[in-house]
Amino acid sequence: MTAKTGRADPLGLALLAVAVIGWGSNWPPLKYLLGLLPPMAARAWPGLAAALLLMTVVAVSGVSLRVPLHVWPRLVLIALLNITAWMVLATLSLGWLSASEGTIVAYTMPVWTALLAWPVLGERPSLPRLFGLALSLAGVVLLIGARGLDIGLAKLPGVLIGLSGCTLFALGTVITKRWPIPLPPAAGVAWQVLIGMLPVVVAALILPQPDWSAVPKGAWAAMAYMALLPLSLCYLAWFAALRRLPASLATQGSLLAPVTAVLGAAIFLGEPLGWREILALTLVLGGVVMAARG
């Protein structure tokens, strides 16, 4: 479909698939890297490489990267919420959670966005949105608690950290909607990724360094993949898809991302994929759909 005519647009659908599948595929390599590198190093260098790549692509494409002086405070705030807080907290949550668990927790994010829209945008949550929240939380509880109380409590820090990242990202989203950043979308994303990654890079430099000479080739390949696809190409594909598809279709299509992540974690990391994971994912995605339509 195109955003204006409603007709099927194969290129738009292909771009959407690249974006959401690529974002979902980011979780297994990130979990793999955390077994080899400190958390900030695993995030900082792929993120910085992606930011520089995005800035280069946007500049070469002819899109202006100029930021008016009065926009900088808002741009920095959004970058800290949507990039720094989100990436750091999501990464730290994987210290307690598997890649599939971290993904399912992360994709409760649209529900928190719907709730935060009440105080920030004045959008009172409807009963379907509240029911969607309950469904999503039920999915998280099932995911963490079904293996027993002791295991559930052991994973609780990861859940709380992950939900904190979701909430801050949701806050950044509603602030952006309330006070939009007057920049071209691609330029705004490029600046957000660059600004948001700088604190992560500083943290990676301050904290103890890994022995880079001992890092296996697979880790370098994972970092290159994360920089090229999930953290850069996917953003460009997403905005290109939005120009060709209705926003509602693009939003619903984004639900493919957690499915990709869960399947990828099972295939490449050997994480369990049974009734518990499938039901938890179904509850979370069902809650997100209800929140979006409510």
> 185-206 and 86-93 helices cross at what angle (nearest 10)?
50
Q: HSE on the CB side for 107, CA within 13 Å?
A: 32
Pick out the chain residues at pLDDT < 70. 1-8, 145-152, 247-252, 291-294
SS (H, E, C) the chain: CCCCCCCCCHHHHHHHHHHHHHHHCCHHHHHHHHCCCCHHHHHHHHHHHHHHHHHHHHHHCCCCCCCCHHHHHHHHHHHHHHHHHHHHHHHHHCCCCCHHHHHHHHCCHHHHHHHHHHHHHCCCCCHHHHHHHHHHHHHHHHHHHCCCHHHHHHHHHHHHHHHHHHHHHHHHHHHHHHCCCCCCHHHHHHHHHHHHHHHHHHHHHHCCCCCHHHCCHHHHHHHHHHHHHHHHHHHHHHHHHHCCCCHHHHHHHCCHHHHHHHHHHHHHCCCCCCHHHHHHHHHHHHHHHHHHHC
Contact between 76 and 145 under an 8 Å Cβ cutoff? The reply is no
Give the model's pLDDT for residue 1: 44
Radius of gyration over every alpha carbon of the chain, rounded to an integer in angstroms: 19
Contact between 111 and 71 under an 8 Å Cβ cutoff? The reply is no
Please report, for residues 94, 239, 240, 245, 283, the alpha-carbon distance to residue 5 in angstroms, rounded to integers and kept in the order given: 42, 18, 16, 9, 33
Give the model's pLDDT for residue 122: 82
Give the model's pLDDT for residue 99: 92
Q: For residue 21, how far is the Cα from the chain centroid?
A: 12
Give the model's pLDDT for residue 120: 82
Give the model's pLDDT for residue 35: 93
Please tell me the distance from the alpha carbon of residue 253 to that of residue 255, in angstroms, as a whole number. Answer: 5
Give the model's pLDDT for residue 249: 64
Give the model's pLDDT for residue 254: 75
Give the model's pLDDT for residue 251: 64
Give this prediction's pTM. Answer: 0.85
Contact between 249 and 4 under an 8 Å Cβ cutoff? The reply is no
Give the model's pLDDT for residue 3: 45
